Amino acid sequence: MLAARFLLRTHARAATYVVARPSISRLRPFHHSSPILHDMEKVNTTDRLAELRKLMKEHAVDVYMVPSEDSHQSEYIAPCDGRREFICGFSGSAGYAVITQEKAALATDGRYFNQAEKQLDDNWELLKQGLQDVPTIQDWTADQVDNGKAVGVDPRVVTAADARKLAEKIKKKGGEYKPISENLVDLVWGQKRPAQPTEPVIVHPNEFAGKSFDEKLEELRKELEKKKSPGFVVSMLDEIAWLYNLRGNDIPYNPVFFSYAVVTPTTATLYIDEKKLDQAVKDHLGDKVAIKPYDAIFKDIETLSANSAQTNGETDEKPKFLTSTRASWALNQALGGKDRVEEVRSPIADAKAIKNDVELEGMRQCHIRDGAALIEYFAWLEDQLINKNATVDEVDGAEKLELLRSKKEKFKGLSFDTISSTGPNAAVIHYKPEKGICSVIDPKQIYLCDSGAQYQDGTTDTTRTLHFGEPTELERKAYTLVLKGNIALERARFPKGTTGFALDALARQFLWAEGLDFRHGTGHGVGSFLNVHEGPIGIGTRVQYSEVSLSIGNVVSDEPGYYEDDKFGIRIENMIMVKKIETNHQFGDKPYLGFERVTMVPHCRNLVDRNLLTADEVKFLNEYHKEVFEKTSGYFENDGLTMEWLKRETAPY
């Protein structure tokens, strides 16, 4: 059996806690439709692979590729787009499946090695990306072809750039990389495949957006003018939502809606199922944005591109439309291919990542409310486990926390599945508990809670690791090393132009000194009532984090960790905002930047080894905890239990 998932701890308890689910209007959670099953369960994929291989022969394809993303390259997807999970059984958010007539491989990164090993059945080979001597999924795919063999993919779910790179690798092997208009996994899935959602779209008012969509369109048109481009085709869902100041509910936990957009120097168009738009949304867009059917995008941009070429004459250099580097191969083809398209880092993504003053203040305020909910939850959980001797499982805990959050002002839903994990489960970096097969929270082991919420004025993501009993020496040391890294990054000062790639080592240095590390990024950008993971900035070793420097107004996470498989996991995550700071000198006449903290939740006193902290770190912790108490204690004036917990956890060291 899979110990990390299926060992239900059976402590003698005097009571069992049952949580009532909150009955509220909120962002729809991710409920899989059959046959996608619970995390950590193996799915028998033999019949599915046999059916897919039959279809591959019918379409003259020797190798078929199944990425995780949808037609908009979304990190998190709607159930109808869970093709990779359906075909292989692995439910993590990142991965790539490739199937030949004899083999099947799943590639994923270090966050998911543990999970993938538990979920893949014997039909699959796991390619652990990033480890030495393990081929990339592209190299593995190219190795499967020789003269005359064909690799197929749905061109809507891969980027044009990725398609070109892989086509070159395959061509060198004598094979062919070709688009297959029908998605073969959809054909295998058949009538059991969930329908595409049709959730209503709402207006995100200027009082929370901080800038009208008219202003955003004009700024985008200035970029078109600089590039002398006839238009920008927008395919990323969060970019469309941000651009038009709209929000939706088509993808669980992400307030976005299925759509495309095209902006030219004189027009703006939204491609969407019009049934999602009520009169308030239509009045909001007015006559400044045309509305067309979702599927009309491909024919329209084909015509738009052709007309633009004719306008400029047959002998003149043809103007190029702009697309994001994340736009699909299908969109690129419709526009006329590389001769008619310039792929750029999206100017919308760049603008969205720099929050305006209204958005920054919203982030401050929603994190205070969210922090109060977390504080109340941790005080409640300790009381249940220690004082009431109650049985609380991981799902009970997650649901209680959601209930507490739902009572906070401007709450709209969760921002991702709550990671409520005890003991060995905490070592599974993206663990999702399921009722009936999850573990009971054990006060004698580490408890890791990574959670977040969507509020109308911002998005939160906070991780705290706690221990309600007596931690081991190793647990205390590991926790304190992670905490030191978290503090070091938050205290960083750096010249304008510094990237998150350059800052990453600050959070890892104390672990590295002990020969320890973690296999995930140190920080990701965060949206404003948008996706909890937002590019283009971040902190980590990914090459893209070396391409875009941190700027004033960026909101990014600070989340180092450490994990011992089948034992425990530790992660500490705060949200921090980039701001200008004053320094004694300005080398090279550059402004210097630092971070403003916004997460308001105490660190676990029981896990801190005071002897490993410097005087400056202790001072920093004391100042932080004083701020947490001042900003959140007002929520607990009539709650003695939580107030006592908060006083204890924020007391000076």
Residues 334 and 398 grouped into a single domain: no
Q: What is the 3-state secondary structure (H, E, C) of 381-431?
A: HHHHHHHCCEECEHHHHHHHHHHHHHCCCCEEEECCCCEEEEHHHHHCCCC
Euclidean distance between CA atoms 355 and 552, whole angstroms = 8
Euclidean distance between CA atoms 420 and 450, whole angstroms = 7
Question: For the residues of 16-47, what is the DSSP string, one character each?
Answer: E--PPPP----PPP--PPTT---TT-----HH
Asked if residue 31 has pLDDT above 50, the reply is no
Q: State the alpha helices, DSSP H only, in 593-650.
A: 615-632, 640-649
- Percentage of the chain surpassing pLDDT 90? 89
Answer yes or no: is 401 within a domain: yes
Q: Which two tokens stand for residue 189?
A: 């899935």
Q: Which two tokens stand for residue 70?
A: 């949808």
pLDDT of res. 459: 98
Range with the poorest average pLDDT among 114-118, 298-302, 341-345, 457-461: 114-118
Asked if residue 313 has pLDDT above 80, the reply is no
Domain boundary among 353, 378, 409: 353
Answer yes or no: is 198 within a domain: no
Domain that holds residue 588: 357-640
Residues 343 and 458 grouped into a single domain: no
- The DSSP call for residue 132 is T
Euclidean distance between CA atoms 426 and 447, whole angstroms = 7
- Percentage of the chain surpassing pLDDT 70? 93
Residues 149 and 177 grouped into a single domain: yes
Residues 272 and 377 grouped into a single domain: no
Contact criterion met (CB below 8 Å) for 431 and 419: yes
Answer yes or no: is 47 within a domain: yes
Contact criterion met (CB below 8 Å) for 610 and 619: no
Euclidean distance between CA atoms 582 and 345, whole angstroms = 31
577-610 as b/e: b if 16+ CB within 10 A: bbeeeeeeeeeeeeebbbbebbbbbbbbbbbbbe
Q: Could you give the C-alpha distances from 237 to 73, 157, 261, 270, 360, in angstroms and in order?
A: 9, 14, 9, 11, 22
Euclidean distance between CA atoms 11 and 28, whole angstroms = 34
pLDDT of res. 40: 64
Range with the poorest average pLDDT among 62-66, 75-79, 643-647: 75-79
Asked if residue 225 has pLDDT above 80, the reply is yes
Q: What is the pLDDT of residues 351-366, one digit of tens each?
A: 999 999 999 999 999 9
Mean pLDDT of the chain, nearest integer: 92
pLDDT of res. 314: 55
Euclidean distance between CA atoms 458 and 526, whole angstroms = 9
Question: Average of pLDDT values for 464-490?
Answer: 98
Answer yes or no: is 16 within a domain: no
**Those residues with Cβ within 8 angstroms of residue 575's Cβ, 6 or more apart along the chain or in another chain:** 363, 367, 460, 461, 462, 526, 555, 556, 557, 558, 597, 598, 599
Q: Which two tokens stand for residue 468?
A: 């309600």
* 545: CATH: 3.90.230.10
Q: What is the pLDDT of residues 148-162, one digit of tens each?
A: 899 999 999 999 999
Q: What is the pLDDT of residues 254-283, one digit of tens each?
A: 999 999 999 999 999 999 999 999 999 999
Higher pLDDT, 146 or 286: 286
Confidence of residue 47 (pLDDT cuts 50, 70, 90): very high
First and final CA of the chain: distance in angstroms?
A: 43
pLDDT of res. 10: 29
Residues 437 and 570 grouped into a single domain: yes
Contact criterion met (CB below 8 Å) for 358 and 210: yes
Place of tokens 């990237």: 499
pLDDT of res. 11: 31
Residues 598 and 480 grouped into a single domain: yes
Residues 149 and 188 grouped into a single domain: yes
Phi, psi of 365 (to 5 degrees): -70, -40
Residues 299 and 330 grouped into a single domain: yes
Confidence of residue 13 (pLDDT cuts 50, 70, 90): very low
Place of tokens 């199944």: 66
Phi, psi of 260 (to 5 degrees): -130, 165
pLDDT of res. 21: 44
Answer yes or no: is 23 within a domain: no
Residues 409 and 507 grouped into a single domain: yes
Asked if residue 466 has pLDDT above 60, the reply is yes
Residues 343 and 388 grouped into a single domain: no
Phi-psi region of 253 (alpha: psi -120 to 50; beta: other; left: phi over 0): left
Phi, psi of 195 (to 5 degrees): -75, 155
Q: How many angstroms from the chain centroid is the CA of residue 398?
A: 19
Question: Average of pLDDT values for 379-387?
Answer: 98
Confidence of residue 14 (pLDDT cuts 50, 70, 90): very low
Residues 78 and 181 grouped into a single domain: yes
pLDDT of res. 25: 40
Asked if residue 9 has pLDDT above 60, the reply is no
* 257: CATH: 3.40.350.10
| Model confidence, pTM | 0.91
Euclidean distance between CA atoms 1 and 117, whole angstroms = 13
Answer yes or no: is 465 within a domain: yes
Residues 430 and 549 grouped into a single domain: yes
Q: How many angstroms from the chain centroid is the CA of residue 616?
A: 33
pLDDT of res. 32: 32
Asked if residue 2 has pLDDT above 70, the reply is no
Q: How many angstroms from the chain centroid is the CA of residue 580?
A: 27
Euclidean distance between CA atoms 348 and 512, whole angstroms = 37
